[in-house]
Structure formats: structure tokens, C-alpha cells
Amino acid sequence: MNQSFTALGVSQGRLAFKNPVLLASGCASFGEPFEDFFDIASVGALITKAITREPREGNASPRICETPCGMLNSIGLQNPGMEAFAQEILPQLRERGVTTIVNVAGGSEEDYEAVLTRLKDEPGISAFEVNLSCPNVEDGLIFGTSAVAFGRICERLRRVTELPLIPKLSPDAGNLVPYAKIAWGAGMDGVTVANTWSAMAIDWRSGKSKLAKPTGGLSGPALKPLTLARVAATADAVPELPILASGGAVTATDVIEFIRAGALAVELGTILFHDPTRPKKILEELPALLSEVGGESMQELRNTLSA
């Protein structure tokens, strides 16, 4: 393998990726929309759509709308359910050599436990991203905005599987540092900072929400400064805990900024809708940018934020 690309590898604790470019949950489906644009197996990992115990149809339409420098979504965790995922989708990802992180969602502790129990022994799963913070479904924030509930479910799920677990934190919780500390204490292998932000868009003519629901989850480049600050604060408070940065990354320089702030890897999301070739472009650009800042590896840039 070309030395410039091996230099992109990152690792911390039990998490290791061949490069720091990940595809965010819900934005790349199961990889199939991008087959004509780049090799899905080339990225550090694909994080799947949220998988629930039973199939979900999701929320009513309209459930996506553009905003200045971003996008609102109210998909509502539409997915085929854990059984169809295990039998029909995961085998295809294995065959294509995709590093797969499964995003898991539910409405109760029992739901999460059921999905992990069903999938934990399936080959081809590198880790689970535990979606405890979806703002687009009823009760979607009950675990992400209650420290007690968050800690309880982390401890419960840790007993279910030995695979790496990565809770996805909610910006609606305010200060994410206490949640990161709870995650580390409960034996979690990392955290995703962070999920989408609860937000609203209104049609000024009708006075109605532009979504079928009053609010949705805000993502896109508008979130980058907010996410950078939260990644840096989390990395400073719990340096032992790997962080997946999610929110606002668009370019290769964005990826480097997040890594300097303390992230292990960076999830690309909304940009995939605008430019489905962007992961490939970023991977091509990163070696030159790494050389420009005098770095020999992406790993050595982590936590190099200076005052």
C-alpha cells in the first residue's frame, strides 16, 4: 500500500481505522447509493442507518429540507429491522470488505439490548454506535439528556457484548463532558460528538413547519464551530476516551481541524447529499495536507490544539 495512505491510519483503545474518514449514520444508508462514486471499502468505516428491533417506516413526508449552511431531517429512523439487516444487508457489506459500524436505536433499554443480542455474534461488525440521542422520534432523547438514564443503559449494554460500544451524544444535553465521563466509567469504547441539533424551519407564507413534524435534526457545515468546541472540551476532560466527531465536516482541512481538536476520526454526513464523491476527494487530499503541516502520520496530529 502507498506509504502516504498508510500514514492516514488512526487508533486509540480498541478502535482502529485505516483512515479517519467515516460515513455518518443515515447519510450513506448501507453504502449502496455511492457504489458508482467511490469504493465504500476505502473509507475508515461505514456507520449504518439506525437498526431497530422491528422494521420502521419512519416519519411522514416532507421530512428533509435545506437550511442556510445545513439541512433539517426528520426521517424517523426508517430501517428494515435487525432481522433483515442481519440476513440480507450485512452479508453484502462483508462481501465488499466494508468496515462496518452498526448504529443501534430503540425506544427502551430492552429494545437496544435485543438488537445487540441479535447482532453481536454476526461476523463483519467492527463496533456498535449506540444512538441514544435521536431528536426525530418520540422519546428519542430520553437517554441522551438524562445522565442517570444514560449511565444505566451504558452499563446494561456493556454486559451484552464484548464488541466496542460508542454512544452517540446529544447536543441537547448541553455540556457533553459529564456524559463522556459516564461513558468512560461504564466501559464504553468511545463517544460520537454529536448527534443533530433540534431545530425548526418555517414556511413564511403558510406559517407551517417545512417538515411534517414541527422540528427536525439540524446538520451541515453550520455546526462545525459548535462541534469543534465540544470535541475539544471532551478530549480535554477525558483524554483516554476516543471521539468520533460528527457535525459540520465538509473538507479535508475540516478533518484535520477535528483531529487537532482531539477527535480520533471524523464522520461525513450532509456533504454526501451535495457531493457524493467527497470522501474520495478528501482521502486523496489528506496526504498532501499532512505533509504540508510537517506530519508523518495522522495519528501524531491528534490533540495538537494550541492556545
pLDDT surpassing 70 at residue 4: no
- Cβ neighbours of residue 137 under 8 Å, at least 6 residues apart? 59, 76, 77, 105, 107
Question: Structural domain of residue 191, as residue ranges?
Answer: 3-301
What are 158's three cell numbers?
456493556
pLDDT digits (tens, 9 = 90+) for 152-170: 999 999 999 999 999 999 9
CA distances from 158 to 31, 140, 183 (A): 28, 20, 10
Active site residues: 134
Is residue 43 in some structural domain?
Answer: yes
Enumerate residues 6+ apart whose C-beta is below 8 A from 214.
200
Give pLDDT, residue 2: 47
**Would 14 be classed as within a structural domain?**
yes
Please check whether residue 56 lies inside any domain of the structure: yes
Over residues 214-233, mean pLDDT: 97
Mean pLDDT of 195-199: 94
Q: How confident is the model over 53-106, as pLDDT tens digits?
A: 999 999 999 999 999 999 999 999 999 999 999 999 999 999 999 999 999 999
Beta-carbon contacts of residue 126 (< 8 Å; ≥ 6 apart): 45, 99, 100, 101, 163, 164
State mean pLDDT over 183-188: 98
Query: What angle is formed at CA 237 by the lines to CA 162 and CA 251, rounded to 5 degrees?
Result: 80
Residue among 173, 214, 223 nearest 71 (CA) = 223
Residue 306 included in any domain: no
Q: How many domains does the chain have?
A: 1
307 within a domain of the structure (yes/no):
no
pLDDT at residue 133, rounded to an integer: 72
pLDDT of residue 67: 96
Q: What is the pLDDT of residue 6?
A: 81
Q: How much is the mean pLDDT over the chain?
A: 94
CATH code of residue 229: 3.20.20.70
Give this prediction's pTM: 0.96
Q: Residue 243's beta-bridge partner residues?
A: 191
pLDDT exceeds cutoff 80 at 307: no
Let me know if residue 227 belongs to a domain.
yes
Q: Is residue 281 part of a domain?
A: yes
Q: Is residue 53 part of a domain?
A: yes
CB 176 within 8 A of CB 233: yes
